[in-house]
Amino acid sequence: DSNTFIIPAHTSENRKYIPMGYADSDTIITNAMYMVCDAPKWVFAVVSSYMSMIWMKTIGGKLKTDYRYTNLCYNSFSFPKINEEQKARLTALAEHVLFTRENHTEMTYGEMYNPESMPQDLKYAHQAMDIAVEQCYRPEPFTSDEERLEYLFKLYEKMTKKK
């Protein structure tokens, strides 16, 4: 259905974001992508965020120098429980990213997500979504990728600790 969220299995090492999206019922999902059925838009915001990208770069695989997304990236990514207001905010920001991409139909996703040709409005839409995702973790901003990873690994440790 139209709520099938797709994630490419491979992406360029140069990208800040993986060009993810939604598929319709006519799309054939191959082994070159992952799918999340019935995924609400706020999940798109979380999984396509920079925070998720940092996690994927650390625990995902590689194909030569490009990144390889795996089910481990998705299933082990720690994200706190969020309330309906946060979900609504993330949903609105995800929709903004998706609508912004529609303003650039003359470009392929590869061109849109190339750091050298990424449209400014798409960069800003992703940055706003990143801020909202990171605020789900804590109110103060992260100062580095190392700090983000440290925080994610602490959450992962809590998530996997036996009770």
158: phi then psi, degrees, rounded to nearest 5: -65, -40
pLDDT in tens, 84-124: 999 999 999 999 999 999 999 999 999 999 999 999 999 99
Looking at 60-144, list the stretches that DSSP marks H as alpha helix, in order from N- to C-terminal side. Answer: 71-76, 84-102, 109-112, 120-137
Identify whether the C-beta of residue 91 lies closer than 8 Å to the C-beta of residue 98. Answer: no
At residue 38 the predicted structure's pLDDT band, cuts being 50, 70 and 90, is confident
- pLDDT at residue 153, rounded to an integer: 96
Q: Helix, strand or coil for residue 99?
A: helix
Strand partners, 34: 7
pLDDT in tens, 47-60: 999 999 999 999 99
Structure tokens at 41: 């838009």
At residue 2 the predicted structure's pLDDT band, cuts being 50, 70 and 90, is low
Average the pLDDT over 61-70 and give the result: 91
pLDDT in tens, 131-161: 999 999 999 999 999 999 999 999 999 999 8
Q: Which of 92, 152, 85 is nearest to 128 (CA)?
A: 92
Containing 159, the helix (H) or strand (E) segment is helix 145-160
pLDDT surpasses 60 at 1: no
- Work out the percent of the chain whose per-residue pLDDT is above 90: 80
- Amino acid making up residue 118: M
The span from the CA of 60 to the CA of 68, in Å, is 6
Whether this model's pTM surpasses 0.75? yes
Identify whether the C-beta of residue 122 lies closer than 8 Å to the C-beta of residue 100. Answer: yes
pLDDT surpasses 60 at 162: yes
Strands, sheet with 61-63, edge to edge from the N-terminal-most edge strand: 10-11, 66-68, 61-63
When the pLDDT of each residue in the chain is averaged and rounded to a whole number, the result is: 93
